[in-house]
Amino acid sequence: MSAAPMLEIIDVTAGFGAVTVLHGVSMVVPAGSIAGVFGLNGAGKSVTMKTIGGVVPVRSGRVLLDGEDVTTLSPEQRVARGMGHVPQGRQVFPGLSVEDNLRLGAYTLRRRRRARYAASLERTYSQFPVLRERRHQLAGTMSGGQQASLSVARALINEPRLILVDEPSAGLSPVAQLELRAVLEVVRQTGVTMVLVEQNVAFGLSLVDTAHLLQTGRVVHSAPVASLDNDTLATHLGIGRVLAGATGSALLARKRGTS
């Protein structure tokens, strides 16, 4: 792993119109790690992702990708520099086949290093055999779980250095969530840095290395998951004891290395 963090957000403020949503958010994500961003509705998780992605402009502060300042770059330009997205709701292109979706995902790769595409596609299909089976099927006709796989594959095929995964478990059945977990494990094993935003704290905590807790547009606590306990979580997230049990077992499982 390189010494510079793969992603660094420095004191970012952002919002919509007259409303400021992020009030100076800072975060460091080491290369190869998985960072989780958690918070209640309205805490600013989605806006954080959008400022990293470039969809929402930053009002002050900086965004650094592998040491490079990308604050003023458009989303397309950030993708060209190695950022990948698994958007909220998966957002596969329903009218295109699986293979066409993948091909579009590799748009930048095909433009810059075309020769690598064939290999990348083959690798993607080995990582996601279900997609190989359905390579000519229209993406819109696949199940939620399959679309989730496709969405992740679509991001991976471009050989990104950083992937932003936005609420991947939303709208998925428990069975599909298990599938998703497996998929994200695959991603982790490739060594790609990930930033994961999750509403479902239990699900998210089981996957990430570091948790960044957001409350009303500010990062109130950042710590490795291993060092977190129920009370810290409860305090900083304001979620109360009701969820403590589930969160606790997740943490426990993690500490035991059985997640």
Partner 1 sequence: MGQVLLLGLIQAGIYALFAVGIVFVYRATRVLTFAGGEIGTASLYVAALVSTRAGLPWGVGALAAVTSAVLLGAAFEFLLVRRAVDADPVVLSILTVGLALTLLSVETLAFGSSPQGLAPPFRGGVELAGIVLSPTMIASLVVAAALGLGLQSALRRTDFGLGILAAAEDPAAVRLVGVPLARIRLVVWSASAGPAAVAALLVEPTVGFVTPGYASTLYLGGLVAAVLGGLTSLSGAVIGAVVLGLTESVAQRLFGDAGIPNLNYVVDLMLLLLALVGRNALPGLVAWIYPPPPAAPTSTPVAEEIPA
Give the nearer residue to partner 1 in terms of CB position, either 30 or 217. Answer: 217
Which of 24, 32, 61, 89 is close enough to bind partner 1 by CB under 8 A? 89
Q: Least separation, in Å, of the C-beta of 97 and partner 1?
A: 10
What three-state secondary structure class fits 26? strand
Positions in 37-76 near partner 1 (CB under 8 A): 41-47, 53, 55, 74-76
Instruction: Give the C-alpha separation, 238 to 40, whole Å.
Output: 8
Which of 5, 30, 87, 204 is close enough to bind partner 1 by CB under 8 A? 87
Cβ-based neighbour number of residue 95 at 10 Å: 10
With the CA atoms of 168, 110, 96 and 134 taken in that order, what torsion angle do they form, in degrees rounded to the nearest 10? -70
Strands in the chain per DSSP E: 7-16, 19-29, 34-38, 60-65, 68-69, 83-86, 162-166, 193-198, 210-215, 218-224
Q: Least separation, in Å, of the C-beta of 238 and partner 1?
A: 13
Instruction: Give the C-alpha separation, 179 to 213, whole Å.
Output: 26
Considering only 98-106, 203-211, 231-239, 249-257, which stretch makes contact with partner 1 by CB under 8 A?
98-106
Residues that bind partner 1 (CB under 8 A): 15-16, 19, 21, 41-47, 53, 55, 74-76, 79-80, 85, 87-96, 100, 103-105, 107-108, 110-111, 138-141, 144, 147, 154-155, 158, 167, 170-171, 216-217
